[in-house]
Structure 1
Amino acid sequence: MPKTFKRGDHVSWNSEAGRVRGHILRVHTGDVDYKGYTHHASPDDPQYEIKSDKTDHVALHKGRALRLLRS
């Protein structure tokens, strides 16, 4: 069963620049077009829209790529 997160959760994930931290803005449970790509999502395997703490960059990731951080 995939990890599930909710809006507002503080999470981290790996990127080309290293470990990044941010907060979940939205949970997508259906396919979403973002930055020219279709990101596939479902209620059982959602995509999470996350805003980086440092750069304000917004990214989409599946739950398996994320780690929940303590507040």
Structure 2
Amino acid sequence: MAKKFKIGDHVSWNSEAGRVSGTIKAIHTSDFDYKGHRRHASEADPQYEIKSDKTDHIAAHKGGALTLS
């Protein structure tokens, strides 16, 4: 089971551009639409919306892709 995070946590993840960091802004515990795609989430496996520190881009990732930073 992936680690659980909370809103306001500072996390990092790997992207095509290298390691990125940001702050969790929202937690999804049910399926949701994101940038034209259906993303799957549940209480047991939530997805997190993270605002990048450098670009203000919003990304959505499962907890397994994230580490506290």
- CA offset digits 1:52-71 (Å, max 9, x no partner): 000000000000000001xx
- CA apart distance, 1:2: 1.5
TM-score normalized by structure 1?
0.95
In the alignment of these two chains, the number of paired residues is 69
- CA offset digits 1:9-53 (Å, max 9, x no partner): 000000000000000000000001010101100000000000000
The corresponding residue for 1:23 is 23
Q: How does 1:12-51 map to 2 (within 5 A)?
A: 12-51=12-51
Unaligned runs of 5+ in 1: none
Letter in 2 for 1:34: Y
Q: How does 1:42-61 map to 2 (within 5 A)?
A: 42-61=42-61
Letter in 2 for 1:10: H
SS in 2 for 1:64: helix
Which 4+ stretches in 1 moved above 4 angstroms?
none
Letter in 1 for 2:64: R
